[in-house]
Structures are given as C-alpha cells and as structure tokens.
C-alpha cells in the first residue's frame, strides 16, 4: 500500500483538478458556424441548436454577423412578436460575446429589418447553479427590464464534470503509485 507521503500530493492534485473543472466557463459560437448570426435555413434552427446545448451561469455565447445586422436582447414578449423598439441591450460590433450571468431564459432577435420574422431569433435557457436545472421565472416577476440576481451556489456539489475529472485524476494517480 502507498505511504501517506505519496497519497497527500496525489489527493491535492485531485482536488485542484476538481476545482478547475467545476469553475470552467465555456464559450459557444451560436449555430456552431463562422457567420452564425444570419437568417437561418429553417425558422427554428437557432433554438434547436440551443436545446442541444447545456448553458450554465458564466458561459458565453458568441454571435458573428455582417455590418448590416445586430443582436438585440429583448423580453420574452418582444421575442415572440419580433418587437425591436425597446431592447434590453443592443450589440452591433459583428462579433458579439455575451456572458450568461444568471439562470433562466435569455431572448435575442436580429435588429435587421424582417430577419426576426424569418427565424433569426434565439432563446437560451441557462441552468441553475444550485440544482443544475433550468428555473422558470416566477409568474409574479416583472419581466419588463429587470432581472433578479442569480442565486449564489449554496453547496459544493461538483456534478458530472468534477466526477469525470476526479475519476480521471484518480486513475492517473493510481498509475503513478
């Protein structure tokens, strides 16, 4: 059996890898393509892409588009009706990176005339840090322009990422012993 002096550095490495893995924010290029923010070939293309991914607080989305377009973050009501008149935030730099800073839904539409109506819109659902689940907003919340702050993580539940990385580190450590 390995001595305590051999086990302690290995366990320290295991803990470090677990912490790094847990805190890793990811960056998603919307649609997974070079020019990602354009009128899609099918109206639900962006939302199908979003549903195939799991977004967490701290992750970022990147939208790439030409000079005649923009990205508008809007309310759910404005998303459904493609209303561009009162955006929460507006971006027009052609290479927009948006950090998803709270759990719940985010709604984006194109600022170019007629593009939203042709399906250039996106709904992102960010999972709760506490539960690893999407938390729907309360029906009594005001959805106009104010967002409740994301709940602070309340436990050390590292989830699947840490379990995988921890297992990988443990196998590597055992191979060294």
- pLDDT above 90: percentage of residues in the chain: 54
For residues 137 and 148, what is the distance between their CA atoms, to the nearest angstrom? 9
Given a cut of 80, is residue 156 above it in pLDDT?
no
Report the pLDDT value the prediction gives residue 70, as an integer from 0 to 100: 97
Report the pLDDT value the prediction gives residue 100, as an integer from 0 to 100: 97
Average confidence (pLDDT) over 96-123: 97
Given a cut of 90, is residue 119 above it in pLDDT?
yes
- Whether pTM > 0.85 for this model: the answer is no
Q: Average pLDDT over the chain, rounded to whole?
A: 75
**pLDDT class of 123 with cuts at 50, 70, 90:** very high
Domains and CATH numbers, the chain: 25-155 (2.60.40.420)
Report the pLDDT value the prediction gives residue 32, as an integer from 0 to 100: 78
**pLDDT class of 132 with cuts at 50, 70, 90:** low
Report the pLDDT value the prediction gives residue 47, as an integer from 0 to 100: 95
Contact present, 117 and 84 (Cβ < 8 Å): no
For residues 107 and 87, what is the distance between their CA atoms, to the nearest angstrom? 10
Question: Residue 40, exposed/middle/buried by CB under 10 A (0-12, 13-18, 19+)?
Answer: buried
**pLDDT class of 151 with cuts at 50, 70, 90:** very low
């Amino acid at each position: 059996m390995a001595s305590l002096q051999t086990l302690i550095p290995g366990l320290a490495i295991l803990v470090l890898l677990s912490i790094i893995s847990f805190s890793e924010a990811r960056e998603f290029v919307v649609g997974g393509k070079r020019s990602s923010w354009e009128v899609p070939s099918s109206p639900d293309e962006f939302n199908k892409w979003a549903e195939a991914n799991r977004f967490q607080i701290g992750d970022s989305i990147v939208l790439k588009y030409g000079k005649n377009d923009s990205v508008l973050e809007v309310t759910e009501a404005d998303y459904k009706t493609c209303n561009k008149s009162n955006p929460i935030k507006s971006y027009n730099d052609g290479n927009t990176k948006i950090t998803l800073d709270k759990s719940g839904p985010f709604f984006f539409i194109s600022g170019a005339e007629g593009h939203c109506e042709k399906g250039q819109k996106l709904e992102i659902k960010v999972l709760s840090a506490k539960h690893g689940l999407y938390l729907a907003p309360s029906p009594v919340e005001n959805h106009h322009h104010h967002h409740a702050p994301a709940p602070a993580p309340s436990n050390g539940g590292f989830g699947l990422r840490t379990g995988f990385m921890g297992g990988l580190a443990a196998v590597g450590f055992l191979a060294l012993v």
